[in-house]
């Protein structure tokens, strides 16, 4: 009887050890199976990652959903990220003055890499024989001359003339592909490394190509005079005319983006 008892205890311990080993094996296999699922999930996410998402520059304008609107443009979380891109970009920003005149208020920015070539087929050519393209009170078209003056701000931030020329030319090419709107004024922004330029043109002026003429003259002046500081060109509405008859252009350093 004693012998049987002595044999019984080792057998029980051996059986318990065998069960524990089997449990550990099952647990290990279960853990490996779960790790495999996690690995497959990680690989799926890695394969779906788009390398262009890590590029400092946004998608090309011509490759966006619409080559003329900001549909499909890249969304920048803040203005500081723009400096990481060394290409000329068109920007889409909400032109809304701050109530407290704080130039540091964050602005939602969409952008695309401006890749319009030197040869652009114009979608619209101003008709000098029509007073208005839209249903307005304008019935008679008269030729007149308006003298516009520019003001240079006294600031320490300078920009490269070449960068400003690149930004301005991309705005001109972008405008060439658009048909003027009858109910929306034109707002354009372009950014090129050290320079940024913004343009506002009322619908009654833009449809006659005046905004393009003014911008071309400004770029020519900047290049000839080697302008490297903030410059503002503005024509305000006169004779009780509102924003539809106004135009304004701001050329400044990229560090003064909020000023634009």
Q: Specify whether the CB–CB gap between 258 and 104 falls below 8 A.
A: yes
What's the pLDDT score for residue 246? 85
Whose tokens are 């520059």? That residue is: 57
Each residue's pLDDT tens digit, 203-255: 877 777 888 889 999 999 999 999 999 998 888 766 667 788 888 999 999 99
Each residue's pLDDT tens digit, 133-146: 666 655 555 555 55
Q: Does this model's pTM top 0.75?
A: no
Confidence of residue 45 (pLDDT cuts 50, 70, 90): low
> Is residue 12 pLDDT above 60, yes or no?
no
């Amino acid at each position: 009887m004693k012998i049987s008892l002595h044999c019984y205890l080792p057998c029980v311990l051996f059986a318990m050890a065998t069960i524990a080993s089997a449990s550990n094996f099952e647990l290990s296999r279960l853990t490996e199976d779960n790790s495999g699922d996690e690995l497959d999930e990680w690989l799926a996410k890695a394969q779906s990652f788009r390398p262009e998402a890590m590029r400092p520059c946004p998608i090309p304008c011509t490759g966006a959903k619409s080559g003329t609107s900001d549909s499909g443009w890249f969304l920048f979380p803040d203005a500081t990220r723009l400096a990481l891109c060394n290409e000329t970009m068109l920007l889409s920003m909400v032109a809304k003055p701050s109530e407290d005149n704080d130039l540091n208020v964050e602005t939602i920015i969409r952008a695309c890499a401006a890749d319009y070539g030197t040869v652009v087929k114009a979608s619209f050519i101003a008709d000098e024989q029509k007073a208005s393209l839209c249903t307005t009170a304008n019935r008679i078209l008269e030729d007149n001359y308006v003298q516009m003056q520019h003001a240079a701000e006294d600031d320490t931030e300078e920009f490269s003339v070449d960068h400003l020329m690149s930004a301005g030319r991309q705005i001109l090419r972008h405008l060439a592909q658009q048909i003027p709107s009858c109910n929306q004024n034109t707002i354009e922004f372009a950014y090129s490394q050290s320079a940024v330029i913004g343009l506002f043109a009322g619908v009654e002026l833009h449809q006659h190509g005046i905004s393009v003429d003014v911008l071309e003259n400004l770029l020519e002046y900047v290049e000839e005079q080697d302008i490297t500081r903030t410059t503002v060109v503005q024509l305000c509405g006169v004779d009780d005319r509102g924003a539809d008859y106004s135009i304004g252009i701001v050329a400044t350093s990229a560090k003064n983006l909020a000023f634009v």
